[in-house]
């Protein structure tokens, strides 16, 4: 009976694969049928061999039945090997490492540019553009790459930038469910490691070598990506099923497509279902289950950037220099960078246990206090004839440590990484560019204390928004979140996604 069962599995596999190409016509359909047939034949051949061996064993009195049974048992109990997936995720996350290094480069480079004057005097306006131009480039890159990613694939788009969009998608599509969350959290972690990397480099070398240190990372990134496979999901979307099965075998450490048959079938079915459910912007506007969480995600991104997190990263050394304390500004920047790395790792470990809404509230309240503390320090310094208040030299460092820590544990994570994630990411870079452009001007107009109090007030408004409008999504799938936003229950203050039918629960 094992041979019959195996044959039925192959028939079921053939049916599921053909569903995905039923909408194609003519030569295109013939080509896809051929691709499906090639993939199916490989599986069918391995099953046929086991079936023939079983019949032969029956004729020989079942002398080899035990060994065949053991062989089939081993194949059915195949477990994914995680090492190839870790390699692919690490290769992709070198892109986020490069992103982090760029975000912090101006923090250590601008003071050096002013002092050395190797390219002449730099005006405040030019400094502002040097600091923020990378964010403007990220906006343009994400807009283009978001469209190209579906046409040319994930690996090719790594060469064109847009890592903040491509890297999370690639990792999500290549990692097994059991380690997907852990590998995805590496994106934020490697950004913070990149920030710390340049903070440390900038302590010892001039701005030119700092730029070289940034430029080396993309070279390593692309060298690693040469050995990583394309996303199996993208290949299935393109109906390159043979290539998809090979990529999946590589990622799972499987020696035969038989070992990844079930996952391949599920992937094809998932792609077909997502294509049927693909929504236009008109659908998003009409569908409250999509529109409402998208608006919430956009508002969270607004409050994230109004915390001045990018401006703080771009001007970290200048901020400590303006504070005028007896603590070295580069050492302070390195401490802040280290705290940010540790806080990001901690958040990755506890985000699914503590709940995102809880962490968002902690994050916003922490930034209210820290930015308020920075404002208080500069106010007291101004009142003290621009002298550092007695016994308060520790306050700027402590405030920025709390600020980066609070940001990392909550606002650094998105609530709704669904179909509108590209829009949210682009919004993030546009707002980051705008806030960084006006940051110094705000400090001039309102004073250092007034500027920090203004950003603290924005974080307070963010706290109110999270408390009243953001639901708890702990342990819930995207489908459950969408069901929640369809129901009247979501109007309740700080509602949690509970009380759903058992069929909706994971």
User: pLDDT per residue over 237-284, tens digit each?
Assistant: 888 888 989 999 999 888 877 778 888 888 888 888 777 666 666 766
The mean pLDDT value for 282-292 works out to: 68
For residues 68 and 54, is the Cβ–Cβ distance under 8 A?
yes
Per-domain residue ranges of the chain: 2-76, 80-228, 279-506
Whether CATH 1.20.1250.20 fits 279-506: yes
State the pLDDT at residue 487: 63
User: pLDDT per residue over 161-186, tens digit each?
Assistant: 678 888 888 988 888 878 887 788 88
User: pLDDT per residue over 460-496, tens digit each?
Assistant: 999 999 999 888 766 665 566 666 776 655 544 455 5
User: pLDDT per residue over 58-111, tens digit each?
Assistant: 444 444 444 444 444 444 455 668 889 999 999 998 889 999 999 899 999 999
For residues 370 and 403, is the Cβ–Cβ distance under 8 A?
yes
Residue 79 to residue 250: CA distance in whole angstroms = 13
DSSP string for residues in 122-144: --HHHHHHHHHHHHHHHHHHHHH
The pLDDT mean for the chain works out to: 77
Asked, colleague to colleague, whether 80-228 and 279-506 share their fold, the answer is yes
Assigned fold of 80-228: Growth Hormone; Chain: A; (1.20.1250)
State the pLDDT at residue 480: 65
State the pLDDT at residue 179: 81
Q: Which two tokens stand for residue 466?
A: 């999270």
State the pLDDT at residue 230: 92
Give every CB contact of residue 75 below 8 A, 6+ residues apart in sequence.
256, 258, 259
State the pLDDT at residue 438: 93
Task: Give the CA distances from residue 356 to residues 284, 353, 467, 486, in Å, rounded to whole numbers and listed in that order.
Answer: 24, 9, 12, 20
Q: Which two tokens stand for residue 487?
A: 């129901």
State the pLDDT at residue 324: 87
Least confident of 5-19, 124-138, 264-278, 446-460: 5-19
Residue 347 banded pLDDT, cuts 50, 70, 90? confident
């Amino acid at each position: 009976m094992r041979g019959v069962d195996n044959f039925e599995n192959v028939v079921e596999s053939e049916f599921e694969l053909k569903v995905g190409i039923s909408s194609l016509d003519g030569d295109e359909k013939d080509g896809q049928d051929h691709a499906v047939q090639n993939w199916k034949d490989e599986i069918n051949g391995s099953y046929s061999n086991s079936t023939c061996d079983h019949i032969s064993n029956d004729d020989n009195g079942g002398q080899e039945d035990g060994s065949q049974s053991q062989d089939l048992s081993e194949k059915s109990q195949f477990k994914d090997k995680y090492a190839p997936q870790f390699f692919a995720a690490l290769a992709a996350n070198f892109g986020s490492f490069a992103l982090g290094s760029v975000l912090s480069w101006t923090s250590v480079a601008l003071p050096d540019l002013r002092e050395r004057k190797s390219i002449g005097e730099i005006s405040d306006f030019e400094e502002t553009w040097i600091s923020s131009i990378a964010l403007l480039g990220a906006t343009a890159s994400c807009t283009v790459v978001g469209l190209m990613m579906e046409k040319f694939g994930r690996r090719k788009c790594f060469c064109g930038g847009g890592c903040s969009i491509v890297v999370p998608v690639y990792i999500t599509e290549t990692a097994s469910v059991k380690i997907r969350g852990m590998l995805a959290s590496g994106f934020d972690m490697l950004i913070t490691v990149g920030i710390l990397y340049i903070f440390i480099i900038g302590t010892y070398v001039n701005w030119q070598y700092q730029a070289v240190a940034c430029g080396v990372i993309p070279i390593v990134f692309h060298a690693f990506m040469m050995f990583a496979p394309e996303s199996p999901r993208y290949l299935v979307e393109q109906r390159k099923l043979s290539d998809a099965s090979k990529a999946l075998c590589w990622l799972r450490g499987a020696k035969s497509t038989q070992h990844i048959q079930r996952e391949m079938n599920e992937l094809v079915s998932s792609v077909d279902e997502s294509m049927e459910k693909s929504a236009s912007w008109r659908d998003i506007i009409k569908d409250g289950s999509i529109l409402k969480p998208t608006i919430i995600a956009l508002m969270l991104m607004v409050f994230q950037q109004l915390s001045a997190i990018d401006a703080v990263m771009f001007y970290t050394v200048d901020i400590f220099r303006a504070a005028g304390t007896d603590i070295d500004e580069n050492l302070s920047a390195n401490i802040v960078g280290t705290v940010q790395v540790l806080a990001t790792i901690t958040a990755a470990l506890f985000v699914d246990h503590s709940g995102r809404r809880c962490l968002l509230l902690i994050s916003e309240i922490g930034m209210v206090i820290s930015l308020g503390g920075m404002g208080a320090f500069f106010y007291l310094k101004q009142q003290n004839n621009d002298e550092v208040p007695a016994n308060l030299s520790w306050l700027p460092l402590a405030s920025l440590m709390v600020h980066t820590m609070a940001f990392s544990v909550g606002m650094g994570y998105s609530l709704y990484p669904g179909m509108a994630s590209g829009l949210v990411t682009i919004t993030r870079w546009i707002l980051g560019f705008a806030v960084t452009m006006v940051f110094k001007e705000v400090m001039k107009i309102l004073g250092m204390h007034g500027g920090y109090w203004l950003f603290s007030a924005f974080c307070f408004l963010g706290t109110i928004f999270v408390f009243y409008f953001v639901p708890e999504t702990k342990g819930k799938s995207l489908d459950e979140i969408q069901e929640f936003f369809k129901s009247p229950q979501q109007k309740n203050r700080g509602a949690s996604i509970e009380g759903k039918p058992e069929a909706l629960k994971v």
